């Protein structure tokens, strides 16, 4: 297949989806988490504007008023959108934020609707106490921004997930294979490699195959200084730029992998298959599956073209093949592979703001204990580590979102999994 045809069938559609407008969909999504835990950013903006900072008591009153206002917004949302509210509450343990619902974290209809009123409440409280003038409040309001994702996904990350959403698992594996190669050769930086890999493997938790936000997607947003907002925005745009360059430089040859139908065959089939069966037309290209679904020969199927007519048989064969090909079907081998690489991978990733490598006990204690299989056929990887470090888990005595060992080990397992061409799986601390 020529490069021109490859770009038309594969590269250009991905780039087009990458640039699809997503900001409105994210900002207007019903049910978002608003974090109101401190006034650090508000204080910084006021000091930069006026040269002085309000007293701690004045800032505390402003935060208290904002939280009370947010609680009313949450109660109103719960009343009008009970199902969505309950769905978000059920998802909170998975998100693992170090905040308390109704105290410093609130479920609001959308940030676009709540940010202006919440911000106004804080500033009016400071104006009433004499800590801020009306004239200065407008400048402060302008420089106090919406954060680009406090443990959420920025718009650019949603766009990357949307770009690859329609690809089947086989093609995603090919992309991950090449991304890993680009990272090892130094063509992709560590942050971009980690984020892009996550968005390819876990993107179906953010968007559907058609690129719509999933019902499970929850935006987590907080206030942020304009300076920090600009810096975060630049990093997000840089990751998107790295992904764009990676996709633009792909070739048909790079997306060939032994044991999988090459993307070249898949895209060629788009052109040739529609001519098959017509009189006086000879097609020499072989038929290939356009998805990762398993097809079977036998009664109720056309073995020559691989088109299965029996839906029941197809589902049965698909389940058997998925179970047979899953890492959970050969756990001992996979556990050994993980444990051979996990200690050194964890040690490499122990850098600020995560726990830093000092004694090496945490890294050496990390190990995969078992690989089970979910009812849907996906691997569920159980792991453990030195109990002494569980104090850093969110909710414990020294709990910290950034220093939580589970976050560190989960990321390390996923880094290793990419090298094994694993796409969708789950992790759990046992």
HEC string of the chain equals: CCHHHHHHHHHHHHHHHHCCCCHHHHHCCCCEEEECCCCHHHHHHHHHHHCCCCCHHHHHHHHHHHHHHHHHHHHHHHHHCHHHHHHHHHHHHHHCCCCCECCCEEEECCHHHHHHHHHHHHHHHHHHCCCCCHHHHHHHHHHEEECCCCCCCCHHHHHHHHHHCCCCHHHHHHHHHHHHHHHHCCCCCHHHHHHHHHHHHHHHHCECCCCCECCCCCCEEEEEEHHHHHHHHHHHHHHHHHHHHHHHCCCCCCCCCCCCCCHHHHHHHHHHHHHCCCCCCCCCCCCCCCCCCCCCCCCCEECCCCEECCHHHHHHHHHHHHHHHCHHHCHHHHHHHHHHHHHHHHHHHCCCCCCCCCCCHHHHHCEEEEEEECCCCCEEEEEECCHHHHHHCCCCCCCCCCCCHHHHHHHHHHHHHHHCCCCCCEEEEC
Q: CA 190 to CA 239: how far, in whole Å?
A: 10
For the chain, give the percent of residues with pLDDT over 90: 16
Domain of 308, in residue numbers? 293-325
Residue 103 lies in a domain: yes
Q: Are residues 179 and 321 in the same domain?
A: no
At residue 156 the predicted structure's pLDDT band, cuts being 50, 70 and 90, is confident
Least confident of 172-181, 240-249, 317-326, 348-357: 317-326
Helices 82-95, 56-80: axis angle to 10 degrees equals 130
Is residue 10 in a domain?
Answer: no
Q: Are 89 and 226 in a shared domain?
A: yes
Q: Look at residue 260 and tell me if it is in a domain.
A: no
Mean pLDDT, residues 95-112 taken together: 83
| Same domain (yes/no): 234, 362 | no
Q: Is residue 333 domain-shared with residue 381, that is, in the same domain? A: yes
Residue 334: the pLDDT is 84
Domain assignment present for residue 268? The answer is: no
Mean pLDDT lowest among 21-30, 50-59, 79-88, 253-262: 253-262
Last residue of a domain, one of 219, 248, 277: 248
pTM of the predicted protein model: 0.49
pLDDT at 275 over 60: no
Domain match, 336 and 398 both: yes
| 311 vs 353: which has the higher pLDDT | 353
299 and 343 within one domain: no
Whether the per-residue pLDDT at 317 is higher than 80: the answer is no
Domain identity same for 213 and 339: no
CB distance 11 to 256 below 8 Å: no
Q: What tens digit of pLDDT does each residue of 15-43 get?
A: 888 777 666 666 666 778 888 988 888 88
Percent of the chain with pLDDT over 70: 73
Please give the C-alpha separations between residue 406 and each of 363, 370, 373, 419, in angstroms, as whole numbers. Answer: 12, 16, 20, 20
pLDDT band at residue 215 using 50, 70 and 90 as cut-offs? low
Domain-embedded: residue 256: no
Q: Does residue 113 share a domain with residue 81?
A: yes
Choose among 272, 265, 277: nearest CA to 302: 277
User: Do β-strands 367-373 and 379-384 pair in parallel, antiparallel, or remain unpaired?
Assistant: antiparallel
Any domain includes 345: yes
Same domain, 147 and 222: yes
Over residues 390-413, the mean pLDDT reads 88
Given its phi and psi angles, is residue 259 left (phi above 0), alpha (psi -120 to 50 degrees) or beta?
left
What pLDDT sits at residue 122? 92
pLDDT at 298 over 60: no
d(CA 187, CA 341): 23
CA–CA separation, 294 and 299 (whole Å): 15
pLDDT at 61: 95
Taking residues 294-310, report their average pLDDT.
Answer: 35
Mean pLDDT, residues 299-309: 33
Query: Which of the pair, 357 or 323, is modelled with greater confidence?
Result: 357
59 and 208 housed in the same domain: yes
For the cut 80, the answer to whether the pLDDT of residue 133 exceeds it is yes
Mean of the per-residue pLDDT values for the chain?
A: 76
Residue 245 has phi, psi (to 5 degrees) of: -65, -40
Q: Give the chain's domain count.
A: 3
For residues 149 and 41, membership in a common domain is answered with yes
- Asked if pLDDT for residue 318 goes beyond 70, the answer is no
Sorting pLDDT into bands at 50, 70 and 90, what band is 149? very low
Specify if 160 maps to a domain.
yes
**Residue 194 pLDDT:** 86
Q: Which residues pair with 82 in a beta bridge?
A: none
Highest mean pLDDT among 133-142, 201-210, 271-280: 133-142
Lowest mean pLDDT among 67-76, 260-269, 295-304: 295-304
96 and 123 in a single domain? The answer is yes
Candidate ranges 48-57, 165-174, 274-283; pick with highest mean pLDDT: 48-57
Task: Please determine, for residue 113, whether its predicted confidence score (pLDDT) is greater than 80.
Answer: no
User: In the predicted model, is pLDDT for residue 186 greater than 90?
Assistant: no
Would residue 8 count as lying in a domain?
no
Which is higher by pLDDT, 280 or 340? 340
Q: Look at residue 307 and tell me whether its pLDDT is greater than 60.
A: no
């Amino acid at each position: 297949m020529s490069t021109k045809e490859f770009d038309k069938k594969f590269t250009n559609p991905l780039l087009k989806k990458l640039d699809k407008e997503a900001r409105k969909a994210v900002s207007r999504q019903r049910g978002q988490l608003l974090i109101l835990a401190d006034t650090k950013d508000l204080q910084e903006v006021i000091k930069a504007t006026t040269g002085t900072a309000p007293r701690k008591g004045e800032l505390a009153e402003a935060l208290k008023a904002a939280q009370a206002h947010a609680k009313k917004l949450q109660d109103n949302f719960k009343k009008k959108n009970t199902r969505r509210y309950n769905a978000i509450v059920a998802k909170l343990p998975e998100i693992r934020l170090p905040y308390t619902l109704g105290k410093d974290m609130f479920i609001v209809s959308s940030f676009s609707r709540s940010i202006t009123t919440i911000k106004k409440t804080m500033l009016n409280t400071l104006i009433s106490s004499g800590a801020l003038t009306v004239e200065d409040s407008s400048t402060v309001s302008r420089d106090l921004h919406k954060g680009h994702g406090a443990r959420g996904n920025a718009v650019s990350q949603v766009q990357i997930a949307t770009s690859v959403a329609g690809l089947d698992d086989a093609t995603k594996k090919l992309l991950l294979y090449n991304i890993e190669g680009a990272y090892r050769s130094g063509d992709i930086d560590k942050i971009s490699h980690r984020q892009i890999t996550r968005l390819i493997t876990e993107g179906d938790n953010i968007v559907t195959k058609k690129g719509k936000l999933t019902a499970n997607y929850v935006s987590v947003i907080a206030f942020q200084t304009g300076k920090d907002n600009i810096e975060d925005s630049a990093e997000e745009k840089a990751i998107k730029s790295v992904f764009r360059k990676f996709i633009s430089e792909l070739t048909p040859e790079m997306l060939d992998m032994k044991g999988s139908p090459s993307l070249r065959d898949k895209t060629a089939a788009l052109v040739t298959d529609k001519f098959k069966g017509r009189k006086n037309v000879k097609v020499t290209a072989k038929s290939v599956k356009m998805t990762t679904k398993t097809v079977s020969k036998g009664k109720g199927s056309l073995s020559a073209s691989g088109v299965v007519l029996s839906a029941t048989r197809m589902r049965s064969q698909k389940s058997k093949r998925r179970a047979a090909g899953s890492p959970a079907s050969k756990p001992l081998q996979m556990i050994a592979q993980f444990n051979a690489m996990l200690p050194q991978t964890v040690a490499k990733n122990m850098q600020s703001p995560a726990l830093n490598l000092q004694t090496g006990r945490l890294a050496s204690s990390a190990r995969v204990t078992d690989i089970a299989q979910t009812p849907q056929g996906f691997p569920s990887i159980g792991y453990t580590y030195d109990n002494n470090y569980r104090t850093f888990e969110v909710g414990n005595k020294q709990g910290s979102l950034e220093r939580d060992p589970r976050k560190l080990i989960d990321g390390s397992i996923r880094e290793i999994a990419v090298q094994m061409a694993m796409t969708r799986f789950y992790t759990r601390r046992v």
